Structure 1
Amino acid sequence: MAKPGLFKPWVAALSATLLMQTVGTFLSQAVPVVAPLMTAELGLPPESIGNFSSLNTLGAILFLLFGTPLVARFGPLRMLQGGALLGSLALAAAAGGVVWLLPLAALLMGVGYGPTGPAGSRILQATAPPRHRVLIFSIKQAGAPAGGALAGFIAAPVAALYGWQAALLVGIVVALACAVAIQPMRATLDAERDPARPLREAFALKRLGAPLAALRMHPVLPRLTLQAFAFAALQGSLFSFTVTWLVQEHGASLTAAGGLFAAMQLAGVAGRLVLGWAADRLGDATRSLAVHGLVAAALSAAWVLAGPGGPGWLGLLLAMASGFTAASWNGIFLAEVARVSPPDRVAEASSGAILLCFLGYLTAPAAFAWTVSATGSWVLPFLVGCGLLAVVSLLVLWGGRRGATS
């Protein structure tokens, strides 16, 4: 017989949300990982995978706009399971090899990924011990880069050995198995769901104004979300273009460039854990995130300016330092949004804040590509992203000091 208190509710909550965050990212990254084989077989240009990624982000934004009432009606755990099912259907559509189905698959994939933020926040805010709240949110968000790394470790070799469709099939099996595995937790984690909530709320036009309405829930949310946008813009640019930049501008082999990219991703996992723990110790997540942004901007600028042209050890160190700071903000941001939101509106506030943050992921890569085409410089748009994050971080610090003295 288990000892009383041996298994804490937050342990089950964190296990479920971390697992499904990892699964969601694994599904989202599976297609980009097998893209060279898939696009060649379907007769598509290699760069067309960028359109798939953009539609994926758009799908997630659509869920964040309209899906929050569904989290309240069906429960956050059920929505995480539903997201895994939608992601599996998206991979099945992509695996069919029909070109006109790919945009639909990308959009569906994004909608399936959408619940990971608001549903996970609702579960963790209700169960996480306040003393370790930011760390627990950060551990859950570490599933994002971990899922991306797993997609590379699993999908790529399977595709090379058995074909890209087989790799997508593996993703489907993994997602469905994980969705079934968390079912025993549903009675506990979905206990506060509201089955009577009307479904029509999810499709009301007023949902278009929900993100801005969410920012009015607390005075800190506008500047906190603005900083998340700046973080997302820099992280999205680094992760979208680092490999291509190293190969095109610095003559790196694809293997070497991919190795540095993997180092950045793994450093991001470590950063989410370490900096989440540090934010808990400081006790002021908003101020911590602002200082974090200044450090991330400085280290990312150092990587861009000195990393590729320096000794190999220096390039690796700066790449990891950039990934450690520029990709480790998500859990702190979500934890702070959940903390300052009304308890019964955590999912709604998280959806609105995450949606506005996702605009950074959606717009920055397009602006980056345009800048490279217009100026011929890869360094300039990287530095613009660093500068934006630094300026916004200073504004957040200044706003926090004004609030403290008013």
Structure 2
Amino acid sequence: MLKPWVAALSATLLMQTVGTFLNQSLPVVAPLMTADLGLRPETIGNFASVNTLGAILFLLFGTPLVARFGPLRMLQAGAVLGCLALLTAAAGIVWLLPFAALLMGIGYGPTGPAGSRILQATAPPRHRVLIFSVKQAGAPAGGALAGLVAAPMAAAFGWQVALLTGIGVALVCAVLIQPLRPQLDAEREPARPLRDAFSPRRLAAPVNALRMHRVLPPLTLQAFAFAALQGSLFAFTVTWLVQEHGFSLTSAGSLFAAMQVAGVVGRLALGWAADRIGDATRSLAVHGLVAAGLSALWVSFGPGAHWALALALAIGAGFTAASWNGIFLAEVARVAPPDRVAEASSGAILLCFLGYLTAPSAFAWTVTGTGSWTLPYYVACGLLAVVSLVVLALRAGRDADRG
């Protein structure tokens, strides 16, 4: 039998990758899908927001389901829901697309709280942030696979074929982790009533999560700003490159994949560094300033630059803007009471997901209203920079008061 933490990391990393692969397949094929269905290109931002709304619904009401059925079972269920979402989208019926996006978000919702519950129970303390970051590296890894697999497949065979391929991959992976269920779902609570999931008090979960520790409010504020920038980059990069700069879908997908792969490396490197620094709030604030600057450089110069420079700028943006999640989740799990890790993770992730919810729709509306694709990118970069400076100032003031 595998060591508990190895089994835990293997299962959660795989399903995080699968969940993001499903989630990012729609933005990657969006230029073909929206053209085929007669929609404006920026409409994909509204679908991204509906997707996030689905994840928020799970985070609000799904934590008791994680306890009752077990975190591994919920990761499997999430993959199945993601497959149903892509199947619905592949039908090519416009009025079904919002439903598909909502279902996709609900399916993606378990990856945070379920993964945190599994890892917090098994991860060795001295490598906890790194292990969380390795798991979260599955998110950009899944996005990279979407860019490298879904984009060329959509260009060659059509966007529906690309979505159907994703369904097959996800179902196989959900079956592969089944042998680990007795080991990783051993502490589930099968007697827990299902009505707990739909109790009105669940609406207070985000506020209750922030009350668990004084570090959580500034940490979650940073996560919100990071999510707004990352959500904008990931929802629109392919469409922006194709529509505004004349890239082929395959070339745009390759740059998108490079950005995602850089996020994988960034999550591992910065997770390792955070374990040694031991100050997640301050390190994320500095991280945010660098991410805002490099992302602004990518938006300003990347698409019109020589391919090598464009690739370097895309890598820089991805390395910093997509590498914060593991540090955030590990810190939430660290400060939460041991029996409330899933609840704290759900509440904190829900609040940070408001960035994913609002930013893509605001981005789409700005493009429609002004005709500019760069303006909303700059706004997202500026938001992260300002929030990071505020958090650093608050932290410096608190340290001065202690001195």
CA deviation map 1:228-257 (0-9, x unaligned):
001111112222333444455555555544
TM-score computed with the length of structure 2 as normaliser: 0.91
- Which letter does structure 1 place at the counterpart of 2:230? Q
Residue 104 of structure 2 is aligned to residue 102 of structure 1: no
Residue 23 of structure 2 is aligned to residue 63 of structure 1: no
Greater CA drift, 119-128 or 149-158:
149-158
TM-score computed with the length of structure 1 as normaliser: 0.90
CA deviation map 1:30-69 (0-9, x unaligned):
3333445545555555554444322211111110111011
Greater CA drift, 395-404 or 318-327:
395-404
Q: Distance in 2 between matches of 1:239 and 1:31?
A: 11
CA deviation map 1:256-304 (0-9, x unaligned):
4443333222211111111111111212222211111121122222333
Q: Distance in 1 between matches of 2:239 and 2:34?
A: 17
Q: Distance in 1 between matches of 2:20 and 2:350?
A: 17
CA distance 1:258–1:37, shift in 2 (3 Å) = closer
Alignment of 1:293-372 (within 5 A): 293-372=288-367
Provide the aligned length of Structure 1 versus Structure 2: 401
CA deviation map 1:138-174 (0-9, x unaligned):
1111111111221233334444555444433322222
CA distance 1:135–1:44, shift in 2 (3 Å) = same
Q: Distance in 1 between matches of 2:87 and 2:302?
A: 40
The match for 2:378 among 371, 376, 383 is 383
Q: Distance in 2 between matches of 1:41 and 1:246?
A: 18
CA distance 1:163–1:319, shift in 2 (3 Å) = closer
Residue 130 of structure 2 is aligned to residue 146 of structure 1: no
The match for 1:274 among 266, 269, 272 is 269
Q: Distance in 1 between matches of 2:243 and 2:152?
A: 25
CA distance 1:214–1:153, shift in 2 (3 Å) = same
Q: Distance in 1 between matches of 2:372 and 2:43?
A: 22
Q: Distance in 2 between matches of 1:350 and 1:137?
A: 12
Greater CA drift, 86-95 or 267-276:
86-95
Task: Report the counterpart of residue 389 of structure 2 in structure 1.
Answer: 394
Look up the SS of the partner of 1:218 in the other structure: coil
- Which letter does structure 2 place at the counterpart of 1:296? A
Q: Distance in 2 between matches of 1:253 and 1:328?
A: 27
Look up the SS of the partner of 1:10 in the other structure: helix
Q: Distance in 2 between matches of 1:237 and 1:282?
A: 29
Higher relative contact order, chain-length normalized (CA < 8 Å, sep 6+)? 2
- Which letter does structure 2 place at the counterpart of 1:95? A
- Which letter does structure 1 place at the counterpart of 2:392? L
Greater CA drift, 199-208 or 324-333:
199-208
Alignment of 1:12-31 (within 5 A): 12-31=7-26
Q: Distance in 2 between matches of 1:357 and 1:163?
A: 34
Conserved? CA contact 2:151–2:249, under 8 Å: no
Q: Displacement of 1:356 after TM fit?
A: 1.0
Conserved? CA contact 2:19–2:79, under 8 Å: yes
CA deviation map 1:49-93 (0-9, x unaligned):
444322211111110111011111111111101111211222233
Question: How high is the sequence identity, in percent, across the aligned residues?
Answer: 80
Residue 302 of structure 2 is aligned to residue 289 of structure 1: no
Q: Distance in 2 between matches of 1:172 and 1:247?
A: 25
Q: Distance in 1 between matches of 2:245 and 2:88?
A: 37
Task: Report the counterpart of residue 88 of structure 2 in structure 1.
Answer: 93
Greater CA drift, 168-177 or 189-198:
168-177
Q: Distance in 2 between matches of 1:309 and 1:146?
A: 26
Residue 129 of structure 2 is aligned to residue 134 of structure 1: yes
In structure 2, runs of 5+ residues without a counterpart are none
Q: Displacement of 1:374 after TM fit?
A: 4.5
Q: Distance in 1 between matches of 2:275 and 2:155?
A: 43
Greater CA drift, 236-245 or 226-235:
236-245
Q: Distance in 2 between matches of 1:223 and 1:195?
A: 36
State the Cα RMSD in Å: 2.4
Residue 168 of structure 2 is aligned to residue 173 of structure 1: yes
Conserved? CA contact 2:302–2:310, under 8 Å: yes
CA distance 1:166–1:318, shift in 2 (3 Å) = closer
Task: Report the counterpart of residue 188 of structure 2 in structure 1.
Answer: 193
CA distance 1:45–1:364, shift in 2 (3 Å) = closer
Greater CA drift, 38-47 or 171-180:
38-47
Q: Distance in 2 between matches of 1:398 and 1:156?
A: 43
Greater CA drift, 126-135 or 96-105:
96-105
